[in-house]
Chain A
Amino acid sequence: MQSMFGKKKKKGSEEVALQITSMADIFTIILVFLLKTTASGLNTVSPNGANLPLGKGQEITHESMKVEISANLVEIDDKAALNLQNFDLPVTEMQANGMSQSIYQAFMDKRKNHQEANSVSELLVLADQNTPYSTLKAVLASAANSGFVDLQLVMVADE
């Protein structure tokens, strides 16, 4: 390293310092970026700490509305829809047709508030790998009843 950034000698007697200040600046920026990315990489994928299952699938080609299921929360487009207790839905939530009233309402609100949501039926599903099927089923039933029937089940790509 010393040879790379060290001082160059002219043919004559005077020493000329190589200007490495700007390189130090660049390195600092890269270092801060890498430290930040390393620290928050997983949180970007699932802010609520949902451990997505591993698997092989297609690449995500376009963004669509997303529902995230973690141990204690169901979120729709980063907005809390329902609190869970260790993946269990509150008993009072369940409707006769198997859907959850709060989650259904949150989906319908999305449809009302966002013009683009009215024309799409695609939904990204980011569910924790330990989510029981009963909870998943209730979320999917709520989504299906509000028109989101084309599911895109998200996994961490298994390299």
Chain B
Amino acid sequence: MSAGGGGGDGEVELNITPIIDCFTVLIAYLLVSMSFISLSIIDAGVAATAPPSDTPPPETVPPPDPPLTFAISVQEGNKLELKLTGGKENLNLVTPIEALADGPDVNTLKTKVEEIHQLHPDLKEANISADAAIKYKTIMKVISTVKAQLAKVFLAS
């Protein structure tokens, strides 16, 4: 990159000013057009067991206060089903949320989770499961929404 010298008596300077001009324009263009990708994470756990199913458990004596559990199921067509079970009132609330054209209705989900969290401040975690064909980006939308309210999210494995 160094400028060359002449062989004769007088030294000949290579004119690199236009190159510098080109470089400056190129660098400015690259800096402006570059997209700096930054990654972020959401903490989640793996649920030890599958979320509660519709089939009734075998006839056994239930414990006095079954733990309050909150399960969200992402179903075919991006429909959501929230299931709140157990607790002191021995709840068994099921709330379906219809899908929107472009995916799950996360705004309604956010509202419902906020309502549930206000009614049950002790509730700190949710179990999320999905149908086999549901895509990861849909699940991530649901997890992001739920994580805004609840401390822990578990994925059913």
- Across-interface contacts of A23 in B (CB, < 8 A): 20
Flag if B42 contacts A155 (CB, 8 Å). Answer: yes
Instruction: Find residues 13-36 in chain A having any chain B CB closer than 8 Å to their own CB.
Output: 17, 20-21, 23-25, 27-28, 30-31, 34-35
Of the residues B17, B19, B40, contact of A55 by C-beta under 8 Å: B40
**1/0 per residue B29-62: CB within 8 Å of A?**
0110111011111111110000000000000000
Distance in Å: Cβ of A67 to nearest Cβ of chain B: 12
Complexed CA–CA distance, A153 and B2 (Å): 50
- Across-interface contacts of B140 in A (CB, < 8 A): 53, 55, 129, 153, 155
- B119 at the binding interface (Cβ < 8 Å): no
Q: Which residue of A lies closest to B19 (CB)?
A: A24
**1/0 per residue A45-86: CB within 8 Å of B?**
100000011111111100000000000000000000000000
Flag if A41 contacts B44 (CB, 8 Å). Answer: no
Flag if B157 contacts A154 (CB, 8 Å). Answer: no
**How many interface residues does chain A have, given as a range?**
35 or more
- Across-interface contacts of B42 in A (CB, < 8 A): 55, 57-58, 152-153, 155
Of the residues B1, B45, B141, contact of A28 by C-beta under 8 Å: B1
Flag if A134 contacts B155 (CB, 8 Å). Answer: no
Given A59-B40, A60-B41: A34 and B24 interface contact (C-beta under 8 Å): no
- A127 at the binding interface (Cβ < 8 Å): yes
Of the residues A1, A124, A132, A155, contact of B133 by C-beta under 8 Å: A132
Q: Which residue of B lies closest to A51 (CB)?
A: B137
Question: Total number of A-B contacts with CB less than 8 angstroms?
Answer: 159
- Across-interface contacts of A154 in B (CB, < 8 A): 39-41
Q: Which residue of A lies closest to B128 (CB)?
A: A133
- A130 at the binding interface (Cβ < 8 Å): yes
Distance in Å: Cβ of A72 to nearest Cβ of chain B: 16
Flag if B157 contacts A24 (CB, 8 Å). Answer: no
Flag if A129 contacts B135 (CB, 8 Å). Answer: yes
Complexed CA–CA distance, A155 and B38 (Å): 9
- Across-interface contacts of A149 in B (CB, < 8 A): 45-46
Distance in Å: Cβ of B144 to nearest Cβ of chain A: 5
Instruction: Find residues 133-153 in chain A having any chain B CB closer than 8 Å to their own CB.
Output: 133-134, 136-137, 140-141, 143-144, 149-153
Task: Identify the B interface with A (CB < 8 A).
Answer: 1-3, 13, 16-17, 19-21, 23-24, 26-27, 30-31, 33-35, 37-46, 74, 130-137, 139-141, 143-144, 147, 155-157
Task: Identify the A interface with B (CB < 8 A).
Answer: 1-2, 5-6, 17, 20-21, 23-25, 27-28, 30-31, 34-35, 37-38, 41-42, 45, 52-60, 98, 124, 127-134, 136-137, 140-141, 143-144, 149-157, 159
